[in-house]
Amino acid sequence: NGFPAISLEMELSRFLRNKKTTTKDADHIVGLEVLRIINEPTAASLAYGFEKENNETILVFDLGGGTFDVSVLKVGDGVFEVLSTSGDTHLGGDDFDKRIVDWLALNFKRDEGIDILKGKQALQRLAEAAKKAKMELSSLTQTNISLPFITATADGPKHIDTSLIRAKFEELCSDLHDRLKTPVDNALKDAKLSFEDIDEVILVGGSIQIPVVQELVKKITGKEPNVTVNPDEVVALGDAVHVSCVILGFSTCQTSL
């Protein structure tokens, strides 16, 4: 149609340089011109602070599927500067799902004497049910997990039909909760700031909606998180703002990564 194919992409806050290069090379192969790559925390801050005129210091708390990232940024007058980043590359929503999977498998082995984690299809169904249960427990205090025909023996088919209450889920994940604090402390230390210097806390990622995680954010930071933008959508919205800035040539949108 005559228009160039362009790409503005997001990266994790601690994306390795060689992975950035690989991403750009892949885009070039399929005919995309990469104008700029911004990280997720910057995109999140764009969604929140694009129209902010006064300078503010933002802490972005990003609990994704596979990683946990914390970033401290300065925003204001269209300028977004990343002051520090920290995180845990081995902590994410998938780890919370796995605790439910392991709990279901342990109970099933106790009751039936069968290790269903060895079955690929059963494991996939367990993972899907665990993710669904985790999401439901963000708004409910109890959820039912039903997996008919999860496996079979010579005696016939076997099923899982059980309930999981939120309190039990929180107990299963208690050690994961403990790992959320250190990256926050490290990010603030690297930025040479204290919690009193933080004006807003922005939440990113589906697993950030787990109630106990939100309570931990409040406890760790001493601040009520900003919930004006959906955590599932905040990065995409920020990226859309950035696309407008770059393509339309807005001068009031500068990022320093």
What's the whole-number mean pLDDT along residues 173-184? 96
Question: Average model confidence (pLDDT) for the chain?
Answer: 84
- The pLDDT of residue 4: 46
**Which residues have CB under 8 Å from 34's CB, separation 6+?**
6, 7, 8, 9, 23, 24, 27, 28
Write the DSSP string, 39-79: EHHHHHHHHHHTT--S-EEEEEEEE-SS-EEEEEEEEETTE
Note the pTM of the prediction, 2 decimals. Answer: 0.82
Domains and CATH numbers, the chain: 38-91+180-256 (3.30.420.40), 93-174 (3.90.640.10)
Flag whether pLDDT at 79 surpasses 80. no
- The pLDDT of residue 51: 62
Percent of the chain with pLDDT over 70: 79
Contact 95, 65 (CB under 8 A): no
Select the more confidently predicted residue: 112 or 9: 112
- The pLDDT of residue 175: 97
- The pLDDT of residue 8: 46
pLDDT category of residue 14 using cuts at 50, 70 and 90 = very low
Q: Convert the pLDDT of each residue in 189-226 to its tens digit.
A: 999 999 999 999 999 998 999 999 999 999 999 999 98
SS3 content of the chain, % helix, strand, coil (to 5): 45, 30, 25
Contact 38, 10 (CB under 8 A): yes
Name which of 41, 34, 42 is nearest 9 in CA terms.
34
pLDDT category of residue 13 using cuts at 50, 70 and 90 = very low
